[in-house]
């Protein structure tokens, strides 16, 4: 998506309270004085936008990304600490506040303007993107951007620049050359004179100097923390001993509880409410009308849940009331057929003349694939605690976009954004769901009904399942022409609806004629980003179809892919590595099958091999082998865990995930009818990491896309049955 080459500007700053304040400048001048006003507490010293030194010389790394189990906060802290030569044992993490100065401008720049920028205008470009990020309230954790944007452009630069300033300050004080001073474990050393001192001693001197705008970054051979398998995540101990605080753990004095019931058909509005029975129930404080539903506030969650079941609600009618999963798929097919006839569609890729070649070809392979809507079903249901008092709102929740929530609440309650405070805590899973603003604004509206009382709103699992922002149902059609050797000469792919990233349906294979195109076919089902976004469905489509082409050509699927990837050495390297890792050519027990898939997503390339046992007639997923190349894995343990979790997430979707629509509403309601892969059905997973040195890629999402096609290709290898529709149904 973009290349990480430019670094943020750094300038020296201001001395506050006897400590050092260094600024990472993003427009002429430096921002640290402004940041110090609200980031420094007690005797803390803000070193730059991302790090504070404490009087005991310990370090607090400030990160502008949420921790939702992916280990991003620890990984980002590792990057800064390594460049700054900090003692890792003294490092803690503090999440940046929901403040415009901590908008994710590095992420915005990485997304919108990749590539090199001349150093002379680097500061100005960053200033532009900070302004953009503030204006759209961008403080998102998602898209596998944390490491490759904030980490590369922000954390490493800030750490390296701070280290250089401290060395310069020590050199001046000791009257020696800066090149003679070394930094190690938060101390500076001049070995020739046997002098040493902690970083904190050089605060005032360093603050008087302007830092380099392009500090010298370490090379991989100099890394001590980055890429080190022994470095442990900072959030794990408290998650193990139970002291970690998630949104659902928040407890405030005099706190009340709430839950909600919203319109089953998306887009319907509240028409009437009969709450007389509910209002008489014990512990019920208030029934609150919402735009598309109703909420109950009570002394306990159970009282609120019982009461809301007693509220009779009617909703507005619409044409969507007659919609079903079948009618939606029929709509897709009709719209796709029309587009072929009238040409009313959008083009992704057009190389050569695929349709002309296919029309004249002696051998054409065609297939149609589909995937259903999918929910997120995070481990922690949606929840938010809100307090409205004296014209101000304060919320406590787990969110992937604190700044976006702040802006949304201000809009919904019609107050100034400065009067909204968002306290972000650990997220019990996100996967894109907690980037949405519906549940925090709903909590704030409920709290507004009882000013002065904090209200913890908790959605039931049923509400969570039936009022999600869903991964879309998608239909995808393929036609390919094969030459006499069985290789594709043309590739035509038409699909429904396009989201991000734009390159998700692209293929790495050498095919001379390609036409990849799509039509929009809107439905009333709300769309939301789901782990790996469009990559999750398109990898299933494209890697299944390439397997079909290999079968039609009567060629072995690994060899077939190798032949088409000769111009893609990085893909080929990953593919060969997973083949070796899985002992691809070794014999399998009777009734077993082995499938393979490879896909590039978020600058990373991941290949997976799945082994299934079909010998008893049912499906057992036995082993998954994964090789991933993200350029460099800064936190190998976290990276490996992300691959494993992405595989389980995608495997759950492939085996069980299906949100069906009936009478305009979601039919599923809880984990009994929206099932998961559980420990007793999970395969053994093996992961290898390739540090190729290519541009940095993501970890949180790229592990998910290849698992579904690798699974279905394995089923085909075992049974000869081709799966073109998910979830997998063998009968």
pLDDT, tens digit, for every residue of 201-242?
987 677 656 566 688 999 999 999 999 999 999 999 999 999
Residues 516 and 440 in one domain: no
CA neighbor of 643 nearest in space, from 599, 580, 674: 599
Residues 678 and 531 in one domain: yes
Residues 367 and 402 in one domain: no
What does the alpha-carbon distance between residue 572 and residue 11 come to, in Å, rounded to a whole number?
44
Contacts of 525 (CB under 8 A, 6+ apart): 266, 328, 373, 470, 472, 473, 661
Give the 3-state secondary structure of residue 17: coil
Residues 288 and 399 in one domain: yes
Residues 542 and 481 in one domain: yes
Report whether pLDDT(9) > 70: no
Give residue 15's pLDDT band: very low, low, confident or very high (50, 70, 90): very low
Q: Which of 339-348, 440-449, 713-722 has the lowest mean pLDDT?
A: 339-348
CB 470 within 8 A of CB 528: yes
**135 Cα distance to chain centroid:** 22
CB 403 within 8 A of CB 103: yes
| Count of other CB atoms within 10 angstroms of residue 491 | 27
How confident is the model at residue 126, as a pLDDT? 78
The DSSP secondary-structure symbol of 220 reads G
Last residue of a domain, one of 458, 483, 518: 458
Q: Which of 164-168, 507-511, 554-558 has the lowest mean pLDDT?
A: 164-168
Last residue of a domain, one of 241, 271, 302: 241
What percent of the chain has a predicted confidence (pLDDT) above 70? 94
Hey, what are 382's tokens? 């949606």
* Entry pTM: 0.93
Total number of domains constituting the chain: 3
For 182-191, letters b (16+ CB in 10 Å) and e give: ebeebbbbbe
- Of the CA atoms within 13 Å of residue 492, those in its CB half-sphere come to 18
How confident is the model at residue 34, as a pLDDT? 84
- Of the CA atoms within 13 Å of residue 168, those in its CB half-sphere come to 17
What does the alpha-carbon distance between residue 98 and residue 101 come to, in Å, rounded to a whole number?
9
27 in a domain, yes or no?
yes
What does the alpha-carbon distance between residue 66 and residue 427 come to, in Å, rounded to a whole number?
8
Burial of 38 (0-12, 13-18, 19+ CB in 10 A): exposed
Residues 362 and 404 in one domain: no
Residues 711 and 621 in one domain: yes
728 in a domain, yes or no?
no
Report whether pLDDT(345) > 60: yes
464 in a domain, yes or no?
no
Residues 137 and 228 in one domain: yes
CA neighbor of 515 nearest in space, from 346, 269, 295: 346
Report whether pLDDT(28) > 60: no
CB 234 within 8 A of CB 74: yes
528 in a domain, yes or no?
yes
Last residue of a domain, one of 409, 436, 458: 458
Mean pLDDT (the chain, rounded): 92
User: Which residues, in sequence order, are bridge partners of residue 313?
Assistant: 273
697 in a domain, yes or no?
yes
297 in a domain, yes or no?
yes
Phi/psi for 690 (5° steps) reads -110, 120
Residues 509 and 584 in one domain: yes
Alpha helices in 343-454 (DSSP H): 354-360, 402-413, 438-448
**Mean pLDDT (whole number) for 452-470:** 98
Phi/psi for 363 (5° steps) reads -130, 120
Give the 3-state secondary structure of residue 628: strand
5 in a domain, yes or no?
no
Residues 348 and 304 in one domain: no
Domain that includes residue 290, residue range: 247-317+382-458
**Mean pLDDT (whole number) for 238-255:** 96
Phi/psi for 113 (5° steps) reads -140, 70
The DSSP secondary-structure symbol of 325 reads H
Hey, what are 218's tokens? 């370490």
**Mean pLDDT (whole number) for 583-591:** 97
Domain of 496, CATH number, reads: 3.30.365.10
Residues 572 and 627 in one domain: yes
Cα diameter, the chain: 84
Residues 418 and 554 in one domain: no
What does the alpha-carbon distance between residue 285 and residue 258 come to, in Å, rounded to a whole number?
10
Q: Helices 402-413 and 438-448 meet at what angle, rounded to 10?
A: 40
Phi/psi for 368 (5° steps) reads -125, 130
How confident is the model at residue 30, as a pLDDT? 65
How confident is the model at residue 536, as a pLDDT? 97
Give the 3-state secondary structure of residue 43: coil
* Size of the chain in residues: 731
725 in a domain, yes or no?
no
- Strand-pair category, 474-482 with 363-371: antiparallel
């Amino acid at each position: 998506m973009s290349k990480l080459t430019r670094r943020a500007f750094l300038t020296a700053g201001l001395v506050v309270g006897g400590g050092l304040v260094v600024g990472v400048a993003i427009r002429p001048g430096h921002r640290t004085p402004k940041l110090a006003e609200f980031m420094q507490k007690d005797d803390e010293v803000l070193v730059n936008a991302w790090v504070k030194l404490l009087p005991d010389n310990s370090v607090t790394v400030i990160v502008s990304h949420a921790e939702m189990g992916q280990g991003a906060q620890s990984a980002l802290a590792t990057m800064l600490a390594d460049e700054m030569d900090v003692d890792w044992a003294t490092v803690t993490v503090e999440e940046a506040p929901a403040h415009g100065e901590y908008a994710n401008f590095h992420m915005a720049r990485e997304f919108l303007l990749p590539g090199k920028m001349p150093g002379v205008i680097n500061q100005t470009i960053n200033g532009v993107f900070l302004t953009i990020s503030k204006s759209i309230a961008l403080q998102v954790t998602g898209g596998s951007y944390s490491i490759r944007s904030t980490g590369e452009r922000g954390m490493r630069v800030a750490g390296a620049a701070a280290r250089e300033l401290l060395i310069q300050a020590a050199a001046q004080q000791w009257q020696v050359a800066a090149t003679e001073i070394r930094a190690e474990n938060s101390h500076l050393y001049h070995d020739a004179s046997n002098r040493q001192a902690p970083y904190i001693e050089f605060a005032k001197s360093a603050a008087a100097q302007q830092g380099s705008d392009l500090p010298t970054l370490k090379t991989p051979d100099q890394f001590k923390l980055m890429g080190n398998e022994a470095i442990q995540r900072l959030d794990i101990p408290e998650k193990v001993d139970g002291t970690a605080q998630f949104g659902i753990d928040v407890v405030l004095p005099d706190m009340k509880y709430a839950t909600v019931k919203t319109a089953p058909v998306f887009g319907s509005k509240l028409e009437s409410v009969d709450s007389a029975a509910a209002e008489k129930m014990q512990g019920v404080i208030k029934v609150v009308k919402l735009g598309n539903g109703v909420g109950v506030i009570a002394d306990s969650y159970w009282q609120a849940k019982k009461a809301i079941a007693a509220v009779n609600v009617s909703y507005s009618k619409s044409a969507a009331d007659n919609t079903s999963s079948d009618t939606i798929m029929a709509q897709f097919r009709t719209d796709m057929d029309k587009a072929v006839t009238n040409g009313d569609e959008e083009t992704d890729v057009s190389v050569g003349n695929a349709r002309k070649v296919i029309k004249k070809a002696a051998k054409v392979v065609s297939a149609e694939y589909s995937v259903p809507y999918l929910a997120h079903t995070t481990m922690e249901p949606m929840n938010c605690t809100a307090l409205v008092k004296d014209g101000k709102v304060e919320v406590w929740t787990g969110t992937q976009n604190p700044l976006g929530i702040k802006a949304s609440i201000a809009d919904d309650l019609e107050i100034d954004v400065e009067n909204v405070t968002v306290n972000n805590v650990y997220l019990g899973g996100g996967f894109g769901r907690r980037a949405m603003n519906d549940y925090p604004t709903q909590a704030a509206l409920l709290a507004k009904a009882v000013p002065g009382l904090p209200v913890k709103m908790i959605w039931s699992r049923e509400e969570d399942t039936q009022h999600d922002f869903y991964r879309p149902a998608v239909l995808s059609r393929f036609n390919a022409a094969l030459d006499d050797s069985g290789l594709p000469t043309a590739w035509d792919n038409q699909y429904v609806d396009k989201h991000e990233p734009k390159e998700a349906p692209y293929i790495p294979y050498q095919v001379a004629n390609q036409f990849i195109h799509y039509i929009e076919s809107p439905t009333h089902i709300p769309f939301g980003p789901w782990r790996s976004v469009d990559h999750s469905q398109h990898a299933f489509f494209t890697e299944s179809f390439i397997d079909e082409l290999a079968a039609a050509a009567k060629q072995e699927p690994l060899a077939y892919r190798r032949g088409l990837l000769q111009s893609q050495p990085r893909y080929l390297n990953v593919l060969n590595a997973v083949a070796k890792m899985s002992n691809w050519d070794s014999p399998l027990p009777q009734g077993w099958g082995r499938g393979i898939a490879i896909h590039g997503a978020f600058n990373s390339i991941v290949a997976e091999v799945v082994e299934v046992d079909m010998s008893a007639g049912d499906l057992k997923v036995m082993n998954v082998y994964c090789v991933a190349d993200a350029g460099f894995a800064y936190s190998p343990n976290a990276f490996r865990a992300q691959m494993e979790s992405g595989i389980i997430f995608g495997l759950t979707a492939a085996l069980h995930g299906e949100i069906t629509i009936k009478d305009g509403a979601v039919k599923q309601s809880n984990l009994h009818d929206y099932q998961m892969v559980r420990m007793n059905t999970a395969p053994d997973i093996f992961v290898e990491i390739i540090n190729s040195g290519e541009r940095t890629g993501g970890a949180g999402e790229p592990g998910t896309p290849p698992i579904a096609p690798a699974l279905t290709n394995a089923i085909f290898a075992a049974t000869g049955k081709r799966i073109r529709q998910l979830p997998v149904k063998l009968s």
